[in-house]
Amino acid sequence: MTGRMESLLQDLQGHVNSGNIEKGKQVLQQCKLALLEEEDDDNETNTNRVRAQILEWGVLLSTADGDLEAFALNMAQLQPYYMQGIVTSQKNHITGLNLLHLLVENRLSEFHSQLELLSDQEASDPLISFPISLERKLMVGMYDEVLTMSIPHASYQLFMDHLLQTVRDSIADCMEVSYQTLKLQDAAAMMKFNSVDELQNYIANDRDDWLVSSADGTITFQPPPTTSAASDIPSMQWIQQSLTYATEMERIV
């Protein structure tokens, strides 16, 4: 690696660590252009490791920027180097982020394919075991534990925020078929909102077909039935079972 490349990598690392996103993007592009101009040295493994490190910092930069499209692009470019056996000090961190990204996007077949490539030692690293544990808790509907898990690195927060939305959407889908009406306060508690106002914002943005009555503080999911419904149906148990079955079907597919 030339002195210029080493300097650029240090600059890129510094900008990412300091949160200077725009400057980091500029240096990342300079790094990629420099790689195209630089001739391969006699040590191909060393050259590929440098390329992998640049892309790893690109992954971290896109995570800090909240740019999932750039994250996926950098990961797609990085994966071939990992497949070649390139090992870097940040590989487990990047792998954990990628697993979390796949989990958030519900790409469970790819998630489990990635797990099969990991050694026992890699899977035991907290940066990787976190998304593995998260997936297991999601599978059995342990949402309270999911939403209170401590992330192993600040960079994971982006995906946890998206996961919270996914969890809420899943709960909302099941509420629609489990209840005809529900108190706003109860719905807010089920969906882990801090207040009814947060729930109402969610309804306005994502569930505009829900009918909210301010008079009695209820949500109506569907027109009242012509016959009385049984009052002893264990709705919360039904919700958890439905989510578990849906997850298992996704795993089978």
pLDDT digits (tens, 9 = 90+) for 117-171: 999 999 999 999 999 999 999 888 887 788 778 999 999 999 998 888 888 888 8
> Which of residues 89, 111, 130 is at a domain's end?
89
Question: Beta-strand (E) ranges in 103-202?
Answer: 181-183
What is the mean pLDDT of the segment spanning 41-49? 75
**Rounded (10°) angle between helices 157-178 and 196-206:** 80
Mean pLDDT of the chain: 85
Which secondary-structure segment (H or E) carries 182? strand 181-183
User: Hey, what amino acid is at 159?
Assistant: F
Evaluate if residue 251 carries a pLDDT over 70: no
| Partners of 211 in the β-ladder | 220
What per-residue confidence (pLDDT) applies to 243?
A: 59
Please count the structural domains in the chain: 2
> Which of residues 48, 67, 89 is at a domain's end?
89
- What is the C-alpha to C-alpha distance for residues 36 and 141, in angstroms, rounded to an integer? 48
What per-residue confidence (pLDDT) applies to 229?
A: 47
User: Hey, what amino acid is at 232?
Assistant: D
pLDDT class of 247 with cuts at 50, 70, 90: low
In a domain, 196, yes or no: yes
In a domain, 14, yes or no: yes
In a domain, 151, yes or no: no
Domain that holds residue 167: 159-252
In a domain, 180, yes or no: yes
- What is the C-alpha to C-alpha distance for residues 6 and 34, in angstroms, rounded to an integer? 11
Which secondary-structure segment (H or E) carries 212? strand 211-213
In a domain, 241, yes or no: yes
> Which of residues 60, 89, 118 is at a domain's end?
89
Query: Coil, strand or helix: which one is 213?
Result: strand
In a domain, 135, yes or no: no
**Least confident interval from 98-112, 199-213, 229-243:** 229-243
Within 13 Å and on the Cβ side, how many CA atoms surround 194? 2
Cβ atoms < 10 Å from Cβ of 29:
11
CATH label of the domain that carries residue 195: 1.25.40.990
In a domain, 150, yes or no: no
In a domain, 19, yes or no: yes
What per-residue confidence (pLDDT) applies to 78?
A: 95
